[in-house]
Amino acid sequence: MGLTPRLSGRLAARSHHSPAAALLRRFEPFFAIGEVTGGPLLLATIVALGLVNSPLGAGFERFWDTPLQMRFGAWMVSRPLAEWVNDALMPLFFLIIGTEVKREFVRGSLSSPRTAVFPVVGAVGGLVVPVALFLGINRGTETQDAWGIVAAMDTAFSLAVVAMFSTRLPPSLRAVLLAFAAIDDVFGLMVIAVVYTAALSVWPLVAAAGAYALILVLLKLRWVSSVPYVLLGLAVWIGVFASGVHATIAGVAVGLLLPARSRLSERRFAERVQEPVDHLKHAHREAQRADDEDAAAQAMEQAQERLGYIHEMAAATDGAGERLVRILAPWVSYVVLPLFALSHVRVRLAPDLLGEAARSPLALGIVAGLVLGKPAGFLGATWIARRLGAADLPDGVTWRMVLGVGGLAGIGFTLSLFITDLALADAAAAEMAGLAILVASVLSGLFGYLVLRGAASEPD
């Protein structure tokens, strides 16, 4: 789930020789290269908290508030560096999320209709219950419109916690968490688009829809070259960005388009490359036997031609979505998400602020919504759907594991901070919300970890 089977085996063997290796193995899922992980994000969060609460804090915040301008002729856009991280980099994170969710629904643990309904229903419960708790505490106050803060969860941290039990929990649990997180985040992005978008420009959105439609046409035509897809994906992002809708929606939308299946099965690959492999061997033998350099060069050209054919056939066995995740995941884990944390974590850990938070409806509503509302909504909605016969538990998943996933859903970090910036114009209220999100995320992470640890220890 977080590590490949071979790497897990290597780490297990290493732990027999070194106690330090056994300890480090617990942290390995937080820094796995092959998928989006939460380790670098966690380290960046700790660094940001340290800097904000140090004498360098004011200068650190001013740096991220520095405007960066882009100009082309008469057109000009100017935004703080922190907003450029949101609009230009974070869509890459949501592109990966959209891609992985489609893979799970098409050919993964959620490919059957009844198991696919399971995380969808859970996401609805995970939205309605937290928002109801938040509004119940904040109704009639100046902060009641900030209910979107509790609408979504942090996928990177949640996946990293689940990956700590990669050999002791069923792979279908990761699929449930991933699908729930993606649908939950889509709800959050819809909240941003509908509730927190101040002005909407229609024509850029129409242009984005046109580029999106062209991607669909190319996919229908089975176009192989990646260049048109990259250019059209950029066009979708630019259109959504210019429209006023949050640009991260473009990432999810494009990710859901990417093919989850390969163009060529492994069986057909073996059939198609057998003859070129034989020709490749023959060409190399001819090159070795050639009496002059021209004949040898001609034989090597034939060998290179066969290698090119085999290379393209091998590439066709790899799904476009998987290839994209493999390319982007290290950049997202080690660059995009850490930059987001550095630019958005602005929480002062002062005693007076902590005391004020304990009496603040805003902070109490956020903590209640994330820590209590997320697990209660996810578990309650899925249990009702299961009782009504509308959804099935995926193979190997128990209700205790479902509760653990619901607990991890309370880690609202990334998207909650996103929405805080949009929902709260007052700096003091935004700082209060940031502190509450941090506290709720720590509590939810610990709760989810302990529940999943207990579930992983249960006898089969």
pLDDT for res 3 = 47
Q: Lowest-confidence range among 24-28, 217-221, 304-308, 320-324?
A: 24-28
Band of the pLDDT at 275, cuts 50, 70, 90? Answer: confident
Range of weakest confidence among 77-81, 88-92, 224-228, 283-287: 283-287
More confident residue, 422 or 332: 332
**pLDDT score recorded for residue 241:** 86
What pLDDT was estimated at residue 73? 75
pLDDT at 133: 95
> In terms of pLDDT, which residue wins out, 408 or 152?
408
pLDDT at 39: 77
Q: What is the mean pLDDT of residues 309-332?
A: 77
| Average confidence (pLDDT) over 206-216 | 92
pLDDT of the residue at 105 = 74
**Which is higher by pLDDT, 30 or 317?**
317
Q: Is the pLDDT score of 71 beyond 50?
A: yes
pTM for this entry: 0.76
Q: What pLDDT does 4 receive?
A: 47
Amino acid at 263: R
Q: How much is the pLDDT for 1?
A: 39
Percent of the chain with pLDDT over 90: 18
Residue carrying the six token digits 């996810």: 378
pLDDT of 213? 94
Average pLDDT for the chain: 80
pLDDT category at 32 given cuts 50, 70, 90 is low
CA dist., res. 178 & res. 156, Å (int): 10
How many other C-beta atoms lie within 10 A of the C-beta of residue 300?
15
Contact 400, 170 (CB under 8 A): no
Q: Which of 291-305, 318-332, 432-446 has the highest mean pLDDT?
A: 432-446
Which of the given ranges, 195-199, 204-208, 343-347, has the highest pLDDT on average?
Answer: 204-208
Query: How does residue 446 score in pLDDT terms, banded at 50, 70 and 90?
Result: very high
Dihedrals φ, ψ of 251, to 5°? -65, -50
- Highest mean pLDDT of the ranges 87-101, 274-288, 296-310: 87-101
In tens, the pLDDT along 403-441 reads 998 999 898 877 788 788 778 878 888 888 888 998 999
32-197+246-260+320-457 fold: Na+/H+ antiporter like fold (1.20.1530)
170 versus 28: which is more confidently predicted?
Answer: 170
Q: What is the 3-state secondary structure (H, E, C) of 229-257?
A: HHHHHHHHHHHHHHHCCCCHHHHHHHHCC
Domain boundaries, given as residue ranges, for the chain: 32-197+246-260+320-457, 266-315
Query: pLDDT band at residue 59, thresholds of 50, 70 and 90?
Result: very high
CA dist 50 → 38, 47, 140, 347, 442 (Å): 18, 5, 35, 10, 17
- Write out pLDDT tens, residues 79-133: 889 888 888 888 888 888 788 777 777 776 666 777 778 888 888 998 899 999 9
> Closest Cα to residue 244, out of 186, 196, 191, 209?
196
State the angle between helix axes of 202-220 and 248-255 in degrees (0 to 180), rounded to the nearest 10: 20
Task: Specify the higher pLDDT residue, 361 or 26.
Answer: 361
Higher pLDDT, 373 or 347: 373
Model confidence band, residue 396 (pLDDT cutoffs 50, 70, 90): confident
